[in-house]
């Protein structure tokens, strides 16, 4: 890393800016999980109705992923992300504006969360398109690791920030603060980030040459995007998508039900729940760049299959075991630590998914990663909706045991992934 930085650091400014935007996006999407009990009481919602509210965001986010990815490929990733930030900041302000006595209040909440999800859909397909333009293949593991550490940071910031404001003011004030944070981040983004090194005036010629020399061969030869049909029917894209569905199912346990599980099911008070709810996100923040660093190191030492497929598959298997054991532990604090370890193991795999989708997609990296991320978010839809239903029928242990089983399947799928595959352009 030190040697490569001698040619310039503009690409790492882009990575760090995207890390900040990722953190803000997860603050703005995870805030509702912390305010869930207050919103439930104020609007008289059942757990199943709350699950529908959670699912609305994820559904809007999931179904627009491929479109968002193609938009980023076409108009430029930095422009697409700037528009997305302004969109989701606006809809973050609208939810606390809904009066609890309004006719159809539940429908309004669902609609706002759905539209918020559509706005946030752009962030990761577009960021992967930036990676495909800015980052040489051998650095994509650590670059994606840094970006997705923002997910952990945003998730970790949400419980203490939201709880602090909620205790002193209200959940509505907490949402408005989140919206202001998003708007400020959007302004900084527009000042700092461009679509590629050729558009960034401060990028040196040496860094441009270094970036171009490290691109995958197919991407370096072509400036065209792959056809929609070729991407949609590609076997490797679907293997990544299926595994990411399993990944998303597990991840969204922590983004939706974990806070409520610790407070309502395990009996922790509001402040203790806020503290222990941050642990999975701290683990994600550490594990995401660590997984990327390990993956890039293995890429140089023993090859791409071990670096991408091996790291991802093994990480998912470890996460599966940790989630299963965590629900069997009787002490709530120990259980929270074990489950946080599962979240960390899960995020060791994050970079491999996104680095490989960028390599496979090339100039269609936005679309490829959009399809893959759609799979992950549909997994989240299932988590948000099914978890309370299973818990009501069979208990919360059954809900988490199913999560562990899904995670295991996601790890096994990596046996069949070809890390050397690249899409053809026509």
Asked whether the beta carbons of 390 and 399 are under 8 A apart, the reply is yes
| Cβ neighbours for 357, distance < 8 A, ≥ 6 positions apart | 128, 237, 240, 365, 368, 369, 372
DSSP 104: T
Fold of 9-214+225-416: Growth Hormone; Chain: A; (1.20.1250)
DSSP 424: -
CA gap 34, 162 in Å, rounded: 7
- Residue 93 above 50 pLDDT? yes
Q: How far is CA 156 from CA 65, 272, 304, in A?
A: 24, 14, 32
| Neighbour-count burial for 332-358, b at 16+ CB within 10 Å, e otherwise | beebbbbbbbbbbbbbbbbbbbbbbbb
Mean pLDDT of 180-207: 87
Identify which of 243-257, 326-340, 353-367 has the greatest average pLDDT: 243-257
Among 145, 151, 168, 190, CA closest to 28: 151
Residues in the chain: 426
Mean pLDDT of 307-324: 93
CA gap 332, 311 in Å, rounded: 30
Asked whether the beta carbons of 275 and 406 are under 8 A apart, the reply is no
pLDDT of amino acid 344: 92
Biggest CA–CA distance in the chain, Å, is 62
Domain residue spans of the chain: 9-214+225-416
Task: Specify the 3-state DSSP secondary structure of 214.
Answer: coil
pLDDT of amino acid 319: 95
CA gap 288, 369 in Å, rounded: 17
Lowest mean pLDDT among 45-54, 224-233, 403-412: 224-233
CA gap 49, 242 in Å, rounded: 27
Asked whether the beta carbons of 402 and 323 are under 8 A apart, the reply is no
Mean pLDDT of 7-27: 88
Mean pLDDT of 264-288: 78
Phi/psi zone of residue 170: left (φ > 0), alpha (ψ -120 to 50 degrees), beta? beta
In the numeric block, the tokens 């959007």 are attached to 186
- pTM here is 0.73
Per the structure block, which two tokens stand in for 290? 């660590």
Instruction: Tell me the pLDDT tens digit for each residue of 125-178.
Output: 888 888 888 888 888 888 888 988 887 788 778 878 888 898 888 989 999 999
- Residue 382 above 70 pLDDT? yes
CA gap 143, 128 in Å, rounded: 10
Asked whether the beta carbons of 352 and 372 are under 8 A apart, the reply is no
Banded model confidence at residue 406, pLDDT cuts 50, 70, 90: very high
Banded model confidence at residue 302, pLDDT cuts 50, 70, 90: confident
pLDDT of amino acid 407: 95
pLDDT of amino acid 220: 45
DSSP 225: P
Helices 311-328, 235-252: axis angle to 10 degrees equals 30
Mean pLDDT of 39-61: 85
Instruction: Tell me the pLDDT tens digit for each residue of 337-361.
Output: 888 899 999 999 988 998 888 888 7
CB atoms within 10 A of CB 378: 21
Instruction: Tell me the pLDDT tens digit for each residue of 411-421.
Output: 999 999 888 88
Average confidence score pLDDT of the chain: 85
């Amino acid at each position: 890393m030190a040697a490569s930085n001698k040619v310039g650091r503009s690409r790492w400014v882009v990575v760090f800016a995207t890390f900040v935007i990722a953190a803000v996006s997860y603050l703005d999407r995870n805030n509702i999980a912390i305010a869930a009990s207050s919103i439930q009481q104020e609007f008289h919602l059942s757990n199943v109705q709350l699950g529908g509210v959670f699912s609305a965001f994820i559904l809007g986010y999931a179904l627009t992923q491929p479109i968002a990815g193609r938009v980023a490929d076409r108009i430029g990733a930095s422009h697409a992300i700037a528009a997305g930030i302004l969109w989701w900041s606006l809809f973050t302000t609208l939810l606390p504006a809904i009066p609890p006595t309004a006719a159809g209040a539940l429908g309004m909440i669902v609609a706002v969360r759905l539209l918020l999800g559509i706005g946030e859909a752009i962030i990761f397909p577009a960021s992967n398109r930036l990676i495909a333009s800015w980052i040489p293949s051998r650095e994509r593991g650590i670059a994606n690791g840094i970006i997705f550490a923002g997910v952990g940071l945003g998730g970790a910031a949400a419980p203490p920030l939201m709880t602090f404001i909620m205790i002193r003011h209200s959940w509505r004030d907490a949402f408005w603060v989140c919206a202001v944070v998003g708007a400020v981040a959007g302004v900084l983004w527009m000042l700092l980030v461009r679509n590629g090194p050729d558009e960034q005036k401060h990028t040196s010629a040496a860094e441009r040459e270094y970036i171009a020399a490290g691109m995958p061969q197919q991407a370096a030869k072509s400036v065209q995007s792959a056809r929609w049909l070729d991407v949609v029917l590609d076997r490797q894209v679907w293997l990544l998508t299926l595994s990411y569905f399993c990944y998303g199912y597990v991840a969204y346990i922590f983004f939706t039900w974990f806070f409520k599980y610790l407070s309502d099911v395990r009996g922790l008070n509001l402040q203790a729940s806020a503290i222990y709810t941050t642990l999975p996100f701290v683990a994600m923040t550490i594990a995401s760049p660590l997984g990327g660093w390990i993956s890039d190191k293995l890429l140089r030492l023993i090859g791409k299959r071990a670096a991408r497929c091996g790291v991802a598959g093994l990480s998912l298997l470890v996460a599966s075991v940790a989630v299963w054991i965590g629900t069997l532990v009787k002490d709530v604090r120990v259980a929270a630590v074990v489950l946080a370890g599962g979240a960390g193991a899960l995020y060791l795999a994050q970079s491999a998914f996104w680095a490989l989708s960028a390599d496979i997609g090339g100039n269609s990296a936005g679309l490829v990663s959009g399809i893959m991320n759609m799979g992950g978010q549909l997994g989240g839809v299932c988590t948000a909706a099914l978890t309370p239903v299973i818990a009501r029928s069979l208990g919360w242990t059954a809900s988490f045991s199913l999560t562990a089983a899904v995670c295991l399947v996601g790890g096994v799928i990596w046996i069949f992934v070809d890390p050397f595959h690249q899409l053809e352009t026509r």
